[in-house]
Amino acid sequence: MSDDGQHGLTVIAMLGNVFSPYYAWRRRRAAPDLDPFDHCALNVVLYGRDGKKRWAMTERGRGALHQSADTLRIGPSGLHWDGEALTIDVDEFTVPLPSRLRGRIRVHPSAINPQDFVLDARARHRWWPIAPVARVELDFENPGLRWSGAGYLDSNRGEEPLEAGFQRWDWSRAALSDGAATLYDATERDGRNSQLALRFARNGEVEQVAPPPRAALPTASVWRVGRGTQCEAGDQARVVQTLEDTPFYVRSVVETRLCGERVESVHESLDLDRFAANWVQMLLPFRMPRKTWD
């Protein structure tokens, strides 16, 4: 989120795109040539408090993927780590209304956290909060936009599709005066509840804390996806802004109280039963076109 609170940004580089309908269809058919690296995408979303949003998520095949120890390229866009900062060069087209999305993002971590965490009882899904506290600089030609603000960098990996391991989850990340806090609250496929609450210092040190009590949030207004969060006892959580309201997930800005501070967090609720539904899979190509050449 930008320092003035007027802009937001999400970037997700996906190898074996977990939300790809094309990948899901091939898995269901047990395609003999199934290759996760044939389903890659760079999802880039720009948000404005005025309600304006730019969304790009074009899936590409293995031929558009190029990797080295410090560089990842997916089609015309790429990410590069120089030892101090992550540079993301974006050159994509938005959907459903096509427009150019071109610019550069720089992520400057305060520190690197070396520890990753298991998210499920079978240890098939892991999450690595690489830079829990970071500064982000955005400079775009199209649209003309420049801002800086607080940011975050993480990585997820799994040995099975997300919907095979989980029914749903809520996740949030909040900036604190001396670091950041992240929360996971997931229901696994077998019904078990899995919670993880972490507090990070600016130097990268991590402390696992007791998860705060569950707090209700209003159901998303358009697609009616349920959402909830956690908040210290005696206080209340509220939705400041809904950034994404889709058939299977909601991304919001939520005000809550964590670690003794009143904070705004970036929050996501994910409904994987909804995601796996045939009617949702049929809608996804409208937001996620596939390009087989570059």
In a domain, 1, yes or no: no
Q: What confidence score (pLDDT) does residue 293 get? A: 64
How wide is the angle at C-alpha 227 spanned by C-alphas 1 and 59, nearest 5°?
Answer: 60
pTM: 0.94
Length of the chain equals: 294
Q: What confidence score (pLDDT) does residue 284 get? A: 96
Tell me the pLDDT of the chain (294 aa) as tens digits.
999 989 999 999 999 999 999 999 998 888 788 899 999 999 999 999 777 899 999 999 999 999 999 999 999 999 999 999 999 999 999 999 999 999 999 999 999 999 999 999 999 999 999 999 999 999 999 999 999 999 999 999 999 999 999 999 999 999 999 999 999 999 999 999 999 999 999 998 999 999 999 999 999 999 999 999 999 999 999 999 999 999 999 999 999 999 999 999 999 999 999 999 999 999 999 999 999 765
In a domain, 224, yes or no: yes
Tokens of 201: 């210092």
Q: What confidence score (pLDDT) does residue 146 get? A: 97
In a domain, 282, yes or no: yes
CA 153 to chain CA mean position, Å: 9
How many domains in the chain? 1
In a domain, 280, yes or no: yes
Q: What confidence score (pLDDT) does residue 294 get? A: 58
Q: Which residue range forms the structural domain that includes residue 193?
A: 7-288
Phi, psi of 261, deg, nearest 5? -125, 145
Rg (CA), the chain: 18
User: Residue holding tokens 């402390």?
Assistant: 207
In a domain, 294, yes or no: no
In a domain, 40, yes or no: yes
- As a whole number of angstroms, the distance between CA 109 and CA 135 comes to 6
CA atoms within 13 A on the CB side of 220: 23
- As a whole number of angstroms, the distance between CA 166 and CA 182 comes to 19
In a domain, 2, yes or no: no
In a domain, 165, yes or no: yes
Residue 144 makes CB contacts below 8 A (sequence gap 6+) with: none
